[in-house]
Structure 1
């Protein structure tokens, strides 16, 4: 992890310093605002008797809404669904011990950044928070593989899509520095040739995916994670 952090963080350190006065990194957020939902996830996991060593799937509501079909979409991989609310990377970091570390995963699939950008966080801050999340993963297990799903486009958040594109480029760059990290691009599966998100993939709120959208999302994720993880089952 040190080699990734040192190389990439050095390149963006100046940018982080410059934006720190103007951009919140989560200050003022109630870090416990998802406590009830996280407790319910823990209780559900205990009831299911989830074994350790699988793939924890953590992230915001797009991950949570994938839960009813995620096991089928990623079969035969052993997955532990831990999507919660309108979370951001800072929330995944805050609840890391309870939603990730507790299950001693061999790998993590994470989807954050969507709400981060929508709330005004810059691409640099998204990249920094992802690095912090990766650091926690590798402090627990230096060989843990981390798969980060790209921020998806959406109808309702078209105005911040340029920022999301920049954040995705940074996330991809981080992953290219370390063989333990994998960037999964779902964006191109959801946009047309004009670069705009296709309405037919979204529910009425214009943010979340419908079944057709999740078909596209799941295909993109499966293509990367299943070949990489199948030998570890």
Structure 2
């Protein structure tokens, strides 16, 4: 039986995951790029799509770097990017990943909630699925005894990647 394929697009959170170990039941094509902004992902998106045969699932994880730089308007890019992606990859289930509940630079829960609400709206209005990681991280991570983030408050610990991978697996295999 053929394994489902997953194209991961985004920033260092996608790039630095050991996806072959975390998601052995999927063929993961990791196209994450550390430090990338959402507008940079948008600029290279179609080159990546041309390079990879149509995957079963596509996961976009972008916006963390925009937020860290103080730019809250990156969600508008998703509103134009997603309809084009869905049109080009009609057989793929497209997932927009929420911004993870990071603690870096005093990021407020209210700001993250507002941005994730905008991402959810952009995803759903384009026929994409929204992968909200706030609940799983809140339920399975504890700052001292079960940290999901490294000391920088942005990048993921081994547990953080395991929590994220479990949700990706569940959603992609069900798609």
What interval of TM-score do these two structures reach, taking the shorter chain for normalisation? Answer: 0.7 to 0.9
Mark the runs of 5 or more structure 1 residues left unpaired by the alignment.
1-52, 229-233
RMSD: 2.5
What SS class does the counterpart of residue 35 from structure 2 fall into?
Answer: coil
Give yes or no for the alignment of 1:218 onto 2:171: no
User: Which structure has the larger Rg?
Assistant: 1
Specify which structure has the higher proportion of strand. Answer: 2
Structure-to-structure mapping, 1:37-116, within 5 angstroms: 54-66=5-17, 68=18, 70-106=19-55, 107-116=57-66
C-alpha offsets along residues 28-78 of structure 1, whole Å, 9 cap, x if unaligned?
xxxxxxxxxxxxxxxxxxxxxxxxx94310100111111x2x133333222
Give yes or no for the alignment of 1:198 onto 2:127: no
Q: C-alpha separation between the residues in 2 aligned to 1:72 and 1:102?
A: 24
Q: Is residue 55–residue 78 contact of structure 1 (8 Å, CA) maintained in 2?
A: yes
Aligned partner of 1:135 in structure 2 is 83
Q: What is the number of residues matched between the two proteins? A: 169
Q: Is residue 10–residue 61 contact of structure 2 (8 Å, CA) maintained in 1?
A: yes
TM-score (norm 1): 0.64
What SS class does the counterpart of residue 30 from structure 2 fall into?
Answer: strand
Change in Cα spacing, 1:105 to 1:158, as seen in structure 2 (3 Å) is farther
The structural deviation recorded for 1:226 is 1.6
Mark the runs of 5 or more structure 2 residues left unpaired by the alignment.
none
Q: C-alpha separation between the residues in 1 aligned to 2:105 and 2:168?
A: 22
Q: C-alpha separation between the residues in 1 aligned to 2:41 and 2:52?
A: 15
TM-score (norm 2): 0.83
